[in-house]
A and B are shown apart, each in its own frame.
Chain A
């Protein structure tokens, strides 16, 4: 039996969302696609390098402001602005990360948080450039007129066009991330996650690799932020606030940091749950908290991790050669 290429199936299903003709579905799908890149970028640190960052929103925010400023104030085209957003976020990740990787564990996490709060404060106060508390409203949609001239795409709205480009860009980023974690570099990151002390003594300059991972994670968070600013039609200081840093952490735990797609699954679950629960009750954070507690105790592998071990168990049962009690060991975390 051949394996089903799930990533391709999901991508095609994603492309088909505008066909449903609903503004709401496109809106939710855009949100999921863009934010899942934010969560996946964090997992390069969390799940692969073993670094807990409490300040990932800094790079999301820097990317959002950079892209918005380039497009709004400098009238730069969309793709170069977005690339600029990633590069700017990566540059700041290099600067902040240089200091952060000198610390370990909780001290590392606290320093990332401190830098993120500095970024937030600057965004909040620097009225001339960032618009201060008011943020930067009316970030323009990129010019997608060429899409309107194409056969099927012509009937879609501007929001749909933007969704399709965001989906394609995020898909490219996911492909790049996959490539990175499967590379020798990615293997070194998992080695550091498992045992930094031993990693040094197979010739790994641990800090240099941690910094490289930090910069890459910052770059992809910046791309995600740039897209989100356009999607949101505005960029505001709370993009870099510490509560924003908690979101990808929650999504990653929800989806499972032990698997490559876990954070994206978590982002989808988080956003859909948010939509559904807020339509019933105003106690969304309470509900989310309860869901998280249950998940941490009952399914510590997250949604994706639990599904994967379930599939592995079923496969084993159909083979019926090895007792199913061994199944969980077959699921390797991020290797």
Chain B
């Protein structure tokens, strides 16, 4: 599905991501973990085209997407959510999700139709599956943090992705909201046959749903494999898990 070959990114001499190799197969659920500043967000931004790698290649569905602009990568079937909630605050919840349907299905250039009438049923159905039906007419900027995260997930799903990158999907959520979000993600991934790649601070979340874990430390990939293998890995225990115990 997605392969990353020897990707590096430097900022003013500081190497944020250093020759990382990584691959995720169709339908897999994988997590990228690592302490703060390990390069997780940079790694994501390289994959989604927000940053251009200094070296290496990124391949999505057998097509080279290195250096392609974000909107093109998105149209090729990649969705993403951001670490800091990233929605359209002055539009209603319904309009947020509907806008994603409009743009992803390339109807945005139509400047003579009525946007209001487009993809109403699709939007309603998606809002229902996220449990946001009764919030449809609320300005999304006025919602609680947890609800905004759900809206963001809705925006990502409206783009009908084959692979979804989630940067800290449960950041700032209460324990109950976190559990709910995890269940929701698992259900949606199963229903749609989604490939999921996410970063996460919460190790409970990571070990509960990831089938594969990659560990970044100071920009370098120090371990990769099944949750059990990563947990046993001596390097990981020393630099990462060890810090917490």
A and B bind: yes
Interface residues of A (CB under 8 A from B): 179-180, 182-188, 190-191, 193-195, 197-206, 209, 329, 332-335
* 18 extra interface residue pairs, beta carbon distance < 8 Å, beyond A187-B115, A198-B87: A184-B102, A184-B118, A185-B110, A186-B115, A187-B108, A190-B91, A191-B88, A191-B103, A195-B89, A197-B82, A198-B88, A200-B50, A202-B158, A202-B159, A203-B104, A204-B103, A332-B139, A334-B90
Question: A194 to B86, alpha carbons, bound, how many Å?
Answer: 10
Contacts of A183 in B (CB 8 A): 110-115
Complex interface: chain B residues within 8 A of A186 (CB):
111, 115
Return the contact of B159 from the options A184, A203, A205, A329 (Cβ within 8 A).
A203
What residues of B have a CB within 8 angstroms of the CB of A209 in the complex? 108
User: Assuming the A-B contacts A187-B102, A329-B142, are A194 and B89 also in contact, with contact meaning beta carbons closer than 8 angstroms in the complex?
Assistant: yes
Instruction: Evaluate contact between A188 and B102: CB separation under 8 angstroms.
Output: yes
Q: Is B92 an interface residue (CB 8 A)?
A: yes
**Does B9 belong to the interface (CB within 8 Å)?**
no
Contacts of A201 in B (CB 8 A): 48, 70-71, 74, 79-80, 159
Instruction: List CB contacts (< 8 Å) of B109-136 with chain A.
Output: 109-116, 118
Contacts of B98 on A, CB cut-off 8 Å?
Answer: 187
Q: Determine if A187 and B104 form an interchain contact, defined as CB atoms under 8 angstroms apart.
A: no
A-B contact pairs, 23 of them (CB 8 A): A180-B112, A183-B112, A183-B115, A187-B98, A187-B115, A188-B102, A190-B90, A190-B99, A194-B87, A194-B88, A194-B90, A195-B88, A195-B89, A197-B82, A198-B82, A198-B86, A200-B69, A201-B159, A203-B71, A203-B106, A203-B159, A335-B91, A335-B95
On chain A, the residues within 8 Å of B111 by CB distance are 179-180, 183-186
Are the C-beta atoms of B69 and A191 separated by less than 8 Å? no
A190 pairs with B88, CB closer than 8 A: yes
User: Which residue of B is nearest A216, CB measured?
Assistant: B111
How far is it, in angstroms, between the C-alpha of A69 and the C-alpha of B80 when the chains are bound? 53
Which residue from B74, B115, B116 sits with its C-beta under 8 Å from A202? B74
Distance A335 CA – B142 CA, assembled complex (angstroms): 15
- Verify B69–A188 contact, CB threshold 8 A: no
Complex CA–CA separation, A329 to B139 (angstroms): 7
Is B100 an interface residue, CB under 8 A from the partner?
yes
CA distance A205 to B104 in the complex (A): 11
Q: Are B108 and A185 in contact (CB under 8 A)?
A: yes
Q: A184-B118, A185-B110 are in contact. Are A202 and B104 (CB under 8 A)?
A: yes
Taking a contact as CB atoms closer than 8 A, the residue among B82, B99, B155 that contacts A188 in the complex is: B99
Q: How far is the CA of A205 from the CA of B72 in the complex (A)?
A: 8
A-chain residues with CB within 8 Å of residue B75 when the two chains form the complex: 203
Q: Which residues of A contact B88 (CB under 8 A)?
A: 190-191, 194-195, 198
Of the candidates A190, A195, A200, the one whose C-beta lies within 8 Å of that of B71 is: A200
Q: Are B159 and A198 in contact (CB under 8 A)?
A: no
CB-based A-B contact count at 8 angstroms: 112
B91 with A191: CB separation less than 8 A: yes
List the B side residues contacting A185 at CB < 8 Å: 108-111
Which A residues are CB-close (under 8 A) to B115?
182-184, 186-187
Cα–Cα distance between A190 and B159 once the two chains are bound (Å): 18
B107 lies within 8 A of chain A by Cβ: yes
User: When A187-B95, A329-B142, A335-B95 are in contact, do A203 and B87 touch as well, CB less than 8 Å?
Assistant: no
Contact for B99 among A200, A202, A205, A333, CB less than 8 A: A202
Residues of chain B with a CB closer than 8 A to A182's CB: 114-116
Is A184 within 8 A of B86, CB to CB? no
Listed from nearest, the 9 A-B pairs whose CB atoms lie closest are A185-B111, A194-B88, A200-B70, A188-B108, A187-B115, A202-B100, A184-B115, A203-B74, A203-B75
Q: Which residue of chain B has its CB nearest to the CB of A200?
A: B70
User: A97–B107 Cα gap in the complex (Å)?
Assistant: 23
- For B100, B138, B159, which residue has the most chain A Cβ atoms within 10 angstroms? B100
Most chain A CB atoms below 10 A, which of B82, B88, B158:
B88
Q: Are B155 and A198 in contact (CB under 8 A)?
A: yes
CB–CB B74/A333 < 8 A: no
Asked whether, in the complex, the Cβ of B114 is within 8 Å of the Cβ of A203, the reply is no
Smallest Cβ-Cβ distance to B142: which chain A residue: A329
User: What is the bound-complex CA distance between A203 and B107, given in angstroms?
Assistant: 11
Whether A179 pairs with B69 at a CB distance below 8 angstroms is no
In the assembled complex, the CB of B90 is this many whole angstroms from the nearest CB of chain A, namely 5
**A248 CB → nearest B CB, Å:** 22
Binary contact track B138-168/A, C-beta < 8 Å → 1, others 0: 1100100000000000010011000000000
Chain A residues with CB under 8 Å of B69's CB are: 200, 205
- Complex Cα spacing A187 to B107, Å: 10
CA distance A183 to B75 in the complex (A): 21
Which of A183, A186, A333 counts the most B-chain CB atoms under 10 A from its CB?
A183
Residues in A with CB closer than 8 Å to B106 are 203
Least Cβ–Cβ distance between A17 and chain B, in angstroms: 31
Note all chain A residues with C-beta closer than 8 A to B87.
194-195, 198
* Complex CA distance for A335 and B89, rounded to whole angstroms: 11
When A180-B111, A184-B118 are in contact, do A200 and B74 touch as well, CB less than 8 Å?
yes
A204 touches B95 (CB 8 A): no
- B114 cross-chain contacts in A, Cβ below 8 A: 182-183
- Given contacts A184-B118, A186-B115, A335 and B90 within 8 Å (CB-CB): yes
